[in-house]
Amino acid sequence: MPSSSILAPLAYNGSVEALYRTYTWQLWCLSVVGFFYALVQYLLAVPSDLRHLPKVSPYATIWSYAIRESVDRRVKRLIIPFAERGEGVVLVYMLGKWGVHVLDASLVKTVCHNVDRFPKKNYQEHLHFTFLSGPNVVFSNGEMWKRHSASVKAAFDREIPVHHFVALSDELFRRIGKGGVYRFSELVQRYTLDVVGTALLGYNFRAMQTQEDSFVDHFNRVMSKIAVPIRLILPFLDDWFPRHEVIADVQALNSRYGALLESKKQDLGLDLLTYLLEDSTMSTEELISNFSILFSAGHDTTSGALSTAVYHLAQHPEHQSKAREEVLAVLAGRDEPTYEDLGRLPFLNACIKEALRINSPISLLPARITTEYVMLGKYSIPAGVSLVPNVCAVHHTQRNWTDPSRFDPYRFIDKSTRAIANIPFGTGPRQCVARQFSLYEQRTLLCMLLRQYEWRLPARSPHADYVKNEFGAFGLSIPHDLDIEFTKRV
């Protein structure tokens, strides 16, 4: 047998040196393979105090990131089988560490309602979270959260500005004109950003008017630059090989927020930014961090919800017609709804709720951390472990919903729906402060859209089988590149 063959037997009578000379490249191969095997074993080893938990294969999770699978597909393929088997929690390899996803609705409630026992985890160490995480209302805890939350709640403690939603919907329809095929996911993102700017922050981003390097373009660029699979799987690479260009882009975006806050100081009003600025205890870093999170939470979520609703109404013309009949009856010949009208659209409201269930914009809630040893269902979990309440799993297990992947607005007309298993806005003290604001925003746009247009998916849409969400870093499910064909109603 030739000595160069990998199959050559290790039968020899000489020294180590002779062995090395004879089998040089085989030994190199073995060392390299051995090194990588040991590295992978080391990186993927489950800590001994978590080994009793059920676990999603880390290789399957890594593969899912490598092929840029969206979070909802990953959860449905890899995690929901555990929920269907009745597991309330499961270990998942995420962001270079093992964490626990909480799948059972009542365990999610336990985790989200006990804010002191399960505080939010702050991911300051990861580049992609330094962008959104930080000293702000979504990620802070304790006294800081109470302070920030008070200012934010004050801004929502006012009449819902339906007139702004109406005016901006009209502007969106001017873009659609007489109809045709439009990239709705992009148009609606600009609409929701202008809503947040005009109705909440007291600053008009004019996102619907095309601009060079607008806020929305800058934000989208940062979001997509951050979502690099290898960096999400092994975030410590950012310490070893910092991505200077991305860091500079995040800093440039934060500087834009900072400049806007400075100009706002000269133009105070009755808006969210003013309330934040009036809190004299808030540092510049906190102000910018809050601006950044409100900018993101305020527009991407609602635009994702609206894209999903429009998609499913396109796929279900019978629901679209029924919703339109309801709208036309309530509007009684008018083009624009009032606040009261929007409370009299039960079927449209059910479509919105079903869209939020079937494709929740926030599919994974921000992680909490255990502060002490706890029992979650039948499993013990030590202190210092990340817990991720998995909204997508709660919304898609057959234990909670019959035929969960079917778009069926009637679930929300039948009052037997289990409220505990319907949590698109989270649950407990940290649930979304803006849920009513967002629901009215969605009702207004959809009501006016139904009045003025009919729509469907264009032929050969990549979304024909199911709505395809963007691959991203933050557990969001936002339809990606969704084109819709509109026809103006006469």
Residues in the annotated binding site for heme: 432
The site that binds ligand HEM (CB under 6 A) totals a number of residues, namely 27
Distance CA(148)–CA(291), nearest Å, equals: 11
Distance CA(31)–CA(34), nearest Å, equals: 5
- Lay out the site mask for ligand HEM across 189-218 (x = CB under 6 A, - = otherwise): -------x---x------------------
Angle between helix 184-195 and helix 162-176 axes, rounded to 10 deg: 150
Among 53, 78, 105, 112, binds ligand HEM (CB under 6 A): 112
Q: Which is nearer to ligand HEM, 315 or 431 (CB)?
A: 431
The answer to the question of residue 297 lying near ligand HEM (CB under 6 A) is yes
Burial of 354 (0-12, 13-18, 19+ CB in 10 A): buried
The answer to the question of residue 109 lying near ligand HEM (CB under 6 A) is no
Q: Which is nearer to ligand HEM, 319 or 430 (CB)?
A: 430
Q: Which is nearer to ligand HEM, 305 or 385 (CB)?
A: 305
Distance CA(344)–CA(47), nearest Å, equals: 54
Q: Strand 368-369: give its sheet, edge to edge.
A: 89-94, 97-102, 386-389, 368-369
Among 294, 388, 476, 478, binds ligand HEM (CB under 6 A): 294
- Lay out the site mask for ligand HEM across 140-179 (x = CB under 6 A, - = otherwise): ---------x--x---------------------------
Q: Which is nearer to ligand HEM, 181 or 433 (CB)?
A: 433
Which residues inside 358-387 make contact with ligand HEM, applying CB under 6 A?
Answer: 361-362, 365-366
The answer to the question of residue 133 lying near ligand HEM (CB under 6 A) is no
- Interface region with ligand HEM, contact rule CB under 6 A, candidates 73-81, 171-179, 230-238, 299-307: 299-307
What is Dmax (Cα atoms) for the chain? 99
Q: Which is nearer to ligand HEM, 138 or 222 (CB)?
A: 138
The answer to the question of residue 302 lying near ligand HEM (CB under 6 A) is yes
The answer to the question of residue 434 lying near ligand HEM (CB under 6 A) is yes
Q: Which is nearer to ligand HEM, 151 or 320 (CB)?
A: 151
Among 425, 471, 474, 486, binds ligand HEM (CB under 6 A): 425
- Lay out the site mask for ligand HEM across 232-271 (x = CB under 6 A, - = otherwise): ----------------------------------------
Shortest Å, Cβ 43 to ligand HEM: 28
Q: Which residues form the interface with ligand HEM (CB under 6 A)?
A: 112, 137-138, 149, 152, 196, 200, 294, 297-298, 301-302, 305, 361-362, 365-366, 424-426, 430-434, 437-438
